[in-house]
């Protein structure tokens, strides 16, 4: 499948255009259809979420995901260096690390019904909420 995406590596093939669309899916135009048609019909994702990002959204999408993950850990480090609740920071760190590592072998990103993707988004929201008072303390109202 990666050989098929070489023509559109920058922006990818498009969100939702690779898997699970029957005859209209991009995987139908590969040689896998002739060698293993029954296997191709049951495919829902690739073996790695990062490969799925490159297939669907290209290197632009992968770069944006890396920025989101980097921003997550950068804010987590700022939250840890303050007097924040260390148990909460540890839980947020564990959730983010599980998300990053799980996405190596399974597709977590871009699946609307994936609990790990949803929990990563919720962790982002919790971290923003917890760091908001820190931002307010930095403001000098004098």
Task: Report the percentage of the chain scoring pLDDT > 90.
Answer: 19
Q: How far apart are CA 24 and CA 75, in angstroms?
A: 41
**If you average pLDDT over residues 119-131, what whole number do you get?**
87
Q: How far apart are CA 17 and CA 60, in angstroms?
A: 16
Report the pLDDT value the prediction gives residue 61, as an integer from 0 to 100.
92
Q: b vs e for 40-70, b when ≥16 Cβ sit within 10 Å of the residue's Cβ?
A: beeeebbebbbbbbbbbbbeebbeebeeeee
Q: How confident is the model at residue 63 (pLDDT cuts 50, 70, 90)?
A: very high
**If you average pLDDT over residues 32-58, what whole number do you get?**
70
pTM here is 0.74
- Domain ranges within the chain, ordered by starting residue: 6-132
Helix 49-81 to helix 115-138 angle, to the nearest 10 degrees? 30
């Amino acid at each position: 499948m990666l050989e098929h995406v070489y023509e559109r590596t920058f922006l990818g093939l498009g969100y939702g255009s690779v898997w699970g669309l029957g005859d209209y899916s991009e995987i139908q135009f590969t040689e896998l259809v002739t060698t293993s048609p029954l296997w191709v019909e049951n495919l829902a994702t690739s073996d790695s979420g990062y490969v799925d990002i490159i297939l669907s959204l290209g290197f632009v999408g992968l770069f944006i995901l890396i920025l989101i993950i980097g921003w997550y850990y950068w804010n987590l480090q700022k939250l840890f260096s303050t007097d924040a609740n260390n148990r909460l920071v540890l839980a947020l760190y564990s959730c983010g690390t599980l998300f990053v590592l799980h996405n190596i072998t399974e597709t977590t990103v871009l699946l609307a019904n994936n609990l790990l993707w949803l929990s990563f988004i919720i962790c982002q929201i919790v971290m923003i909420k917890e760091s908001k008072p820190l931002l307010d303390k930095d403001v000098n109202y004098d």
